[in-house]
Each structure stands twice: as structure tokens, then as C-alpha cells.
């Protein structure tokens, strides 16, 4: 397992590369170009700048999250080929600096959805929270404004310049079905995967977060059955998964450890985090410790160890603890604790490998 940490750049992250370098076992940063509009071709000079910044601390930039997919591609609009061509050109440039994995998603409009960025927990820490009932009553634009006002940092997936056209986007999606979205995803994959394969870059789709419809929008990457269908759209090792235990784990019916074993050779990137779920559909992000949430992190890490996982992983989100002022979900402290918890599990499995009842 190759451990990484997400980094939003020198101008857009309270976490420094020096901070990340000091976390034991972290080999690289998971990055993106957050100032490039979705759908535009990434400039090579900006890509190389990130490589130089990370490289000066001995960190690799093997994993990009995300090269986002333009809405015209998801909607199947006439201009989708233009945006797919830009995507392909970006893949070719990323190959020049040795990128190995691209994490992306195919969620309409919203990359992820929460109703509270800093929900207070019993111990005084705060975390990202999804209140199901609140989402039923809130106007989507009201949620956009709330999120933009409550974060001092750029929030990928909630870019104001894109979401200011929210009403138009909802109008465009009103007649789009899940089957339409599947077909548009297949079209995208058939164009992109051969190029990714040619340049030895593996594509890993991220599950929908949360794994069900929000605001009536179709969502299709939500369960084991849907993941299998996705992989069969283009049955190629370069068409794979970013398996996120937190996104999928928000639905208690999803057995993430079973998915790890089932899709072992198609998981290119592992997001490992915990959530506590409630019967009414609410969930809150917790520490990575298995006992603190509803997701069996211990079982998931054991599954990765059992399959001999050598891909990339990151601790994904964390709580906001010890008074840290940070990007929602991306505090340094709790994610650093998460890294050590994951390595602790992994090391224990290594030491007991081959022993009875291990």
C-alpha cells in the first residue's frame, strides 16, 4: 500500500508540504489544478510547478484528484467531444510528469453533498455532517451559498463560477435518467480509456457521495452491483475504481470489505474513512477508528492486506480537532492520526500473517 495525503496547493491549503513530509509512511501528495476551470486543458507549466514543489520535499505526484468531467459530457450535449478532447490532452500532459492514477467522478452537478461543514460532536470536535431531513426542505442554491460562506478555502465540486448557473443545470438534467447517464459515461470511457492505457495512467472513478439521489438528480455509482456494471462498460484494467469507504459506507447496505475482495485487481486508489450512520439517513464523519463509526475500517484494511494491495491510499477526510482552523474535512491533525491508525492495522496484519486465527 502506498500512502498519500491530499494537498490543495501552496495558495489554497493550510497544510504545508513540510507538514505532510513529517507524517510517517506518506510517500506522495494527491493534487489537482484548482484554478483551471472544469473542462479546460491543463497547462503543462502548472503541472510541472506542482511536480517541482512536491519533489523538493521528496514527495511524488503520482495521483491526481480530480481531472473533473464537464457537465456537457455527463449530459451528452453536442460540445462533449470538445471537452473530451481537452481531457485527453490533459492525460497526455500528466503522463509527461509520471502520473499513474487519475481519480474522477461522474456525479451530476454536485461532487459531494453535506448540510453542515462543522457539526459539533460530543467531544467538542467538529465534522462534516449530512442531515437527510434538512436536505429535503432546502433549496439547492441556499445550500451552495451556505457552503461558500462557511469556508475560507476553495471547495472543489462547489465552485461558485460553475454553480451560479445552478438553475440552468437543473433544467438540463430534468429529463436525464440513470440510463442516460450510464450511456454518457460509456461514451466518455470508450474515448478516454484507450488513451489512458497508452500512457500507462489508470482511471479510478469515485463513488457518488452520498450513494443515492440528491435533489432528484440521477446517481449511478452507488453499490457493488453498480460498480460491477461500471467495470463492464469498458472491461479493461485501466478502467478502475477509487474505492471510497466513506462514500459507500454512508449506506449501511454496502459491504466495503467485500467490494475490496471482489474488485481487487480493479482498485487503483483507496479512500479510507469512517462515518457514523443513523436510521433516518443522517451520517457524520468520524475518526478513522473502527469503533467510532459504522464502517468496519479494521475489516476493510484487512481485506486490502489479504489481497496484497499495492495501489495508492489516503486517509481521506478527518474531523477538525484541537482548535485547528482548516478546510472542512481536511484538517492536518485528524488525518495524520488516521494515517497512523491505518498503518497500525496494516503492520499488525503483517506481523500475524500466516498465523492461525490471525
Q: Is the pLDDT of residue 47 over 80?
A: yes
- Assigned domain for 27 exists: yes
Which of 271, 288, 305, 320 is catalytic? The answer is 271
pTM above 0.75, yes or no: yes
Told to judge if 326 belongs to the known catalytic residues of this protein, a careful annotator would answer: no
What CATH number does the domain containing 198 carry?
Answer: 3.20.20.150
Q: What is the pLDDT of residue 140?
A: 77
Q: Is the pLDDT of residue 280 over 80?
A: yes
- Assigned domain for 356 exists: no
Told to judge if 87 belongs to the known catalytic residues of this protein, a careful annotator would answer: no
Which of 83, 103, 244, 304 is catalytic? The answer is 244
Told to judge if 330 belongs to the known catalytic residues of this protein, a careful annotator would answer: yes
- Assigned domain for 134 exists: yes
Q: What is the pLDDT of residue 167?
A: 81
Q: Is the pLDDT of residue 188 over 60?
A: yes
Q: Which residues pair with 3 in a beta bridge?
A: 26, 313
Q: Residues 126-175: pLDDT tens digits?
A: 999 999 988 877 777 777 777 666 666 666 666 666 667 788 888 999 99
Q: Residues 85-102: pLDDT tens digits?
A: 999 999 999 999 999 999
| Domain encompassing residue 69 | 2-351
Which of 111, 209, 255, 316 is catalytic? The answer is 316
Q: What is the pLDDT of residue 1?
A: 96
Told to judge if 70 belongs to the known catalytic residues of this protein, a careful annotator would answer: no
User: Helix, strand, coil shares of the chain as percentages rounded to 5?
Assistant: 40, 15, 45
Question: Residue 338: what are its φ and ψ, rounded to 5°?
Answer: -60, -45
Told to judge if 317 belongs to the known catalytic residues of this protein, a careful annotator would answer: yes
How many helices (H) and strands (E) are present in the chain, helices listed first? 14, 12
Told to judge if 268 belongs to the known catalytic residues of this protein, a careful annotator would answer: no
Which of 103, 111, 173, 206 is catalytic? The answer is 206
- Assigned domain for 358 exists: no
Number of domains in the chain: 1
- Assigned domain for 357 exists: no
Which of 173, 238, 304, 330 is catalytic? The answer is 330
Residue partners of 235: CB distance under 8 A and separation at least 6: none
Amino acid at each position: 500500500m502506498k500512502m498519500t495525503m491530499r494537498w490543495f496547493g501552496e495558495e489554497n491549503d493550510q497544510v504545508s508540504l513540510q507538514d505532510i513530509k513529517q507524517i510517517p509512511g506518506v510517500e506522495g501528495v494527491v493534487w489537482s489544478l484548482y484554478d483551471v476551470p472544469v473542462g479546460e486543458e491543463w497547462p503543462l507549466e502548472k503541472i510541472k510547478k506542482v511536480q517541482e514543489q512536491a519533489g523538493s520535499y521528496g514527495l511524488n505526484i503520482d495521483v491526481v484528484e480530480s481531472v473533473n468531467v464537464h457537465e456537457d459530457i455527463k449530459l451528452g450535449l453536442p460540445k462533449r467531444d470538445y471537452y473530451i478532447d481537452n481531457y485527453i490532452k490533459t492525460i497526455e500532459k500528466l503522463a509527461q510528469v509520471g502520473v499513474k492514477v487519475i481519480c474522477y467522478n461522474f456525479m451530476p452537478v454536485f461532487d459531494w453533498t453535506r448540510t453542515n461543514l462543522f457539526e459539533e460532536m460530543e467531544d467538542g470536535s467538529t465534522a462534516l455532517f449530512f442531515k437527510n431531513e434538512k436536505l429535503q426542505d432546502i433549496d439547492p442554491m441556499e445550500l451552495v451559498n451556505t457552503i461558500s460562506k462557511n469556508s475560507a478555502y476553495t471547495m472543489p465540486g462547489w465552485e461558485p463560477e460553475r454553480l451560479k448557473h445552478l438553475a440552468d443545470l437543473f433544467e438540463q438534467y430534468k429529463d436525464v435518467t440513470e440510463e442516460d447517464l450510464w450511456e454518457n459515461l460509456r461514451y466518455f470511457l470508450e474515448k478516454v480509456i484507450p488513451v489512458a492505457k497508452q500512457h500507462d495512467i489508470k482511471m479510478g472513478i469515485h463513488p457518488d457521495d452520498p450513494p443515492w439521489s440528491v435533489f432528484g438528480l440521477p446517481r449511478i455509482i452507488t453499490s457493488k452491483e453498480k460498480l460491477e456494471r461500471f467495470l463492464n462498460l469498458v472491461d479493461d484494467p485501466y478502467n478502475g475504481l477509487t474505492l471510497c469507504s466513506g462514500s459507500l459506507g454512508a449506506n449501511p447496505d454496502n459491504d466495503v470489505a467485500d467490494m475490496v475482495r471482489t474488485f481487487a485487481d480493479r482498485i487503483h486508489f483507496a479512500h479510507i474513512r469512517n462515518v457514523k450512520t443513523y436510521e433516518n439517513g443522517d451520517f457524520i464523519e468520524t475518526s478513522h477508528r473502527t469503533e467510532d463509526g459504522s464502517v468496519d475500517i479494521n475489516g476493510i484494511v484487512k481485506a486490502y492486506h489479504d489481497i496484497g494491495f499495492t495501489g495508492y491510499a489516503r486517509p481521506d477526510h478527518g474531523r477538525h480537532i484541537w482548535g485547528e482552523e482548516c478546510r472542512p474535512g481536511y484538517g492536518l491533525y485528524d488525518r495524520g492520526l488516521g494515517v497512523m491508525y491505518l498503518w497500525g492495522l496494516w503492520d499488525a496484519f503483517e506481523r500475524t500473517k500466516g498465523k492461525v486465527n490471525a
